[in-house]
Amino acid sequence: MSFQRCLWDLDDDLDGNVVHIAEHGLTKRDVEEVLSSPLGEDRSRSSGKPIVFGRTRSGELVAVVYERIDDELVYPVTAFVVSE
């Protein structure tokens, strides 16, 4: 499963997903890379939301928790680097 589009909050929205993901050292591009070609999927243990795992172009293994908006659009809630 891969996703075509991401819904992003404004870059300066302190409560938004862009700032939250940046707090974990990741960018919108990192998240979009993982969502476009995930290696696996599951459910987040803490929120119950869907989660996918994949690699960025730089090779980092990243988890992305998201909410599905429709068949092509997802809202990335958070993302973080995971250890192997």
Q: Which of 55, 76, 53 is nearest to 66 (CA)?
A: 76
Predicted TM-score (pTM) of the model is 0.92
Domain layout of the chain by residue ranges: 5-81
Spatial distance between the Cα atoms of 27 and 21, rounded to a whole number of angstroms: 7
Q: Using the predicted structure, report yes or no on whether residue 26 has a pLDDT greater than 80.
A: yes
Average pLDDT over every residue of 29-40: 94
**CATH of 5-81 among 3.10.450, 1.10.287, 2.40.160, 2.40.50:** 3.10.450
Q: Using the predicted structure, report yes or no on whether residue 1 has a pLDDT greater than 70.
A: no
Q: Phi, psi at residue 81, to the nearest 5°? A: -75, 135
Q: For the chain, give the percent of residues with pLDDT over 90.
A: 90
